[in-house]
Amino acid sequence: MHFIQMGLRSAFDYAERALDRLFGPNANPLGQLGALGYFLFWIVTVSGFYVFAVFDTGVARAFQSVEWMSGPHWWHAGLMRSFHRYASDLMIVVMLLHLVREFALDRFRGARWFSWFTGVPLIAFLYVCGVTGYWLVWDKLAQYVATTSTELLDWMPIFGEPIARNFLDPSSLSDRFFTLLVFLHIAVPIILLFVMWVHIQRISGPKVNPPRLLGGIVLVALTVVSLLMPAVSQGPADLARIPSPVRLDSLYLILYPLADRAPGVAWVALAAIGVVLALVPFLPPRRQPAIAKVFLDHCNGCGRCVADCPYEALQLAPRTDGAVYRSEVVVDASKCVSCGICVGSCPSTTPFRRTGDLVTGIDLPDYSFARMRADVIAACAAPREGRRVLAIVCKHGGGRKLAASPDLAVLELPCVAMAPPSLVDFALSRKLADGVAIVGCSERSCYNRLGVEWTKQRLAQERDPYLRSRVPRERLATIWASATETGAVASAIEELRTNLPPLASDAGPRPGGLSARQPEEMRS
């Protein structure tokens, strides 16, 4: 599975870098797939209301009303019909790309199973929305969809009477059945929206709106395609004839040829896809590193960690230890992924504290801040040959393969935002290193969602805890690179080293080197 993921990640990296040049990193569509899914849902809803206002739900008149839209009223109703069709198609493409990208980035395991698991029914609901939509037009394609879908449903012993009977001849199809279909085409999107809302409940600050530029580009593209290739029907349905041949939509109706020929095999394929997708987050089972632990004696209830946790795993609650503060922080064990971002946000997490036993307000039991500080000191205590760089590396980003050398000390963390900015200050002011490189994931695909963003804001003094002004910025580099861009990271570190001004107390050439990589128990 790892090799498939790395292959897919390389493909996404390649495509994303190319799209960066066209759209810029902020509007890169591949970095905004979830938000685009939401945006397209609203476009489909608005255009759907418009189309519904002029649609006739009677069996006999449905086709004529659709023809009326695409014929004399093409410039408003026809345009909206095409918008509705193409935005729905694009939603499938966006959803499937989003699924594959989250898989490639490995953002679905352990405590993060929830978004993936709730994404699986989203696929089913979106397909039901599309299929019922094609049905409503009541053209030849609709007739094919109706007969194939009902034969597929009849294959399972769900209904007492075979529903395919409704499509045997014109007299057997009633307006009531058609009204039920209209109801389904409206009710299922409401359920879809509800599940979309559930889908993002366990992540903080989910992006549900794309940047304006990207939204504008999507709207313009949909308008152009709708004008150049308006959605058209395939001739009126006629239950007295077998509706063939029909042009199938290869996105929504991809399984229909199989369902038509072998409904049993189609059911097996659907069930297999559903079960495999639902089990993906749990196969193989992954040992969860110990979750964040609160140390009340060092917590003043400021809430910074609550604001920074990307997974809604922290909450403020009334104080229980009788201290003067009003609140304390509480960890939800089922949501914590042990990313350590809360450790980096706590005001008690400072390496300058003189206490022998360095305790923070919130810490990771498997890799405490005290150990991180000791690791930095140990890594940088080794004799150096030239100018030494301390690389603070995210284990999911482009620095994951960096090897320590006499001039490079490496501190590997579950997320670069676990390191508070004071650690950079500490390394430079104590002259442990001549320069510090923070090497995180690519800006578009932070493994821990918000780690890159919070680190950038802390270094720019836009978010607490921020990097003090006294820290010489020319000795600090931030490198954002995805797991496949290891070569670019090595070059960027070399560039930092080459441009470093010498420290007053440069120790001179000495051999040796040490790495402060993460302990084995954190590597999962």
Decide if residue 386 touches ligand HEM (CB under 6 A).
Answer: no
Query: Which residues lie near ligand SF4 (CB under 6 A)?
Result: 291-292, 294, 299-305, 309, 311, 313-314, 329, 331, 336-342, 345-348, 361-362
Helices 33-54 and 175-199 cross at an angle (nearest 10°) of 160
Residue 276-295 contact track with ligand HEM, rule CB under 6 A, x = bound = -x------------------
Shortest Å, Cβ 462 to ligand SF4: 17
Dist. CA 89–CA 44, nearest whole Å: 10
Decide if residue 9 touches ligand HEM (CB under 6 A).
Answer: no
Of positions 51, 142, 200, 376, contacts ligand HEM by CB under 6 A: 200
What 8-state DSSP symbol labels residue 366? T
- The b/e string for 473-486 (b: 16+ C-beta within 10 A; e otherwise) is eebbbbbbbbbbbb
Closest residue to ligand SF4, Cβ-based? 361
CA 397-402-407 angle, to 5 degrees, is 135
| Of 310, 364, 303, residue with least CA distance to 338 | 364
With CB under 5 to 8 Å by kind, the binding choice for 449 among ligand SF4, ligand HEM, none is ligand HEM
Decide if residue 167 touches ligand HEM (CB under 6 A).
Answer: no
Shortest Å, Cβ 46 to ligand HEM: 16
Shortest Å, Cβ 220 to ligand HEM: 21
HSE-CB at 305 with a 13 A cutoff on CA atoms is 36
The dihedrals phi and psi of 195, each to the nearest 5 degrees, come to -70, -35
With CB under 5 to 8 Å by kind, the binding choice for 119 among ligand SF4, ligand HEM, none is ligand HEM
Contact indicator for 315, 332 with CB cutoff of 8 Å: yes
**Closer by beta carbon to ligand SF4, 351 or else 361:** 361
Dist. CA 255–CA 248, nearest whole Å: 10
Dist. CA 250–CA 89, nearest whole Å: 9
**Closer by beta carbon to ligand SF4, 43 or else 341:** 341
Residue 456-495 contact track with ligand HEM, rule CB under 6 A, x = bound = ----------------------------------------
What lies within 8 Å, CB to CB, of 3 at 6+ separation is: none
Shortest Å, Cβ 340 to ligand SF4: 5
Contact indicator for 474, 346 with CB cutoff of 8 Å: no
- Please give the residues from 13 up to 42 whose contact with ligand HEM meets the rule CB under 6 A: 34-35, 37-38
Dist. CA 168–CA 164, nearest whole Å: 7
Q: Binding segment for ligand HEM among 193-201, 254-262, 371-379, 432-440 (CB under 6 A)? A: 193-201
CA-CA-CA-CA torsion for 281, 285, 287, 288, nearest 10 degrees?
A: 30
With CB under 5 to 8 Å by kind, the binding choice for 109 among ligand SF4, ligand HEM, none is none
Shortest Å, Cβ 447 to ligand SF4: 12
Token code pair at residue 404: 């320590």
Alpha-carbon distance values, 347 to 7, 186, 341, 464 (Å) = 40, 50, 13, 8
Dist. CA 201–CA 332, nearest whole Å: 14
What lies within 8 Å, CB to CB, of 511 at 6+ separation is: 383, 385, 406
With CB under 5 to 8 Å by kind, the binding choice for 147 among ligand HEM, ligand SF4, none is none
Shortest Å, Cβ 442 to ligand SF4: 20
Dist. CA 39–CA 288, nearest whole Å: 34
Residue 87-116 contact track with ligand HEM, rule CB under 6 A, x = bound = --------x--xx--x----xx---x--xx
**Closer by beta carbon to ligand HEM, 112 or else 373:** 112
Of positions 449, 463, 497, 517, contacts ligand HEM by CB under 6 A: 449
Decide if residue 203 touches ligand HEM (CB under 6 A).
Answer: yes
With CB under 5 to 8 Å by kind, the binding choice for 383 among ligand HEM, ligand SF4, none is none
Decide if residue 196 touches ligand HEM (CB under 6 A).
Answer: yes
Shortest Å, Cβ 339 to ligand SF4: 4
How does strand 327-331 pair with strand 408-413?
unpaired
Token code pair at residue 306: 């609550």
Query: Binding-site residue total for ligand HEM (CB under 6 A)?
Result: 27
With CB under 5 to 8 Å by kind, the binding choice for 123 among ligand SF4, ligand HEM, none is ligand HEM
- Please give the residues from 111 up to 130 whose contact with ligand HEM meets the rule CB under 6 A: 112, 115-116, 119-120, 122-123, 126
Alpha-carbon distance values, 416 to 166, 396, 421, 499 (Å) = 61, 10, 10, 23
Q: Where along the sequence are the contacts to ligand HEM (CB under 6 A)?
A: 34-35, 37-38, 95, 98-99, 102, 107-108, 112, 115-116, 119-120, 122-123, 126, 196, 199-200, 203, 206-208, 277, 449
